[in-house]
Amino acid sequence: SQTIHQWPATLVQPVGSPLSLECTVEGTSNPNLYWYRQAAGRGLQLLFYSVGIGQISSEVPQNLSASRPQDRQFILSSKKLLLSDSGFYLCAWSSAALNQPQHFGDGTRLSIL
């Protein structure tokens, strides 16, 4: 069966520090991968999605970036965090076939001080 792992679960970082959140998927090949941010426990904002290695689509302009160095690995990064980057970050995957649901990781709670 397929599983998705995100880490770390919780992160506290100072303003201006770098960020690296990692997400890996097991049990499937060539998945679509997604990064979302959820502010204040409410709606989800799609940040990035990827349909293949090295292919990243950005949905909103910001100081975050994403990379997909391997088929089942998706990384969210920042060179300098802002206070507004605080939130709950969720990784998700779906099968590459059309009309497939997304499956979510457990999320990373990021607090910027």
Partner 1 sequence: GEDVEQSLFLSVREGDSSVINCTYTDSSSTYLYWYKQEPGAGLQLLTYIFSNMDMKQDQRLTVLLNKKDKHLSLRIADTQTGDSAIYFCAYEDFQKLVFGTGTRLLVSP
Q: Where do contacts with partner 1 occur on this chain (CB under 8 A)? A: 6, 32, 34, 41-44, 46, 49, 51, 90, 92, 94, 98-99, 101-107, 109
- Give CA–CA dist 38/48, Å, rounded: 13
Provide the pairing of β-strand 19-26 with 64-70.
unpaired
Amino acid 75 reads I
3-class SS at 12? strand
For 85, the 3-state DSSP assignment is: helix
Tokens matching residue 2: 């397929």
The label of the residue with tokens 């409410």 reads 42
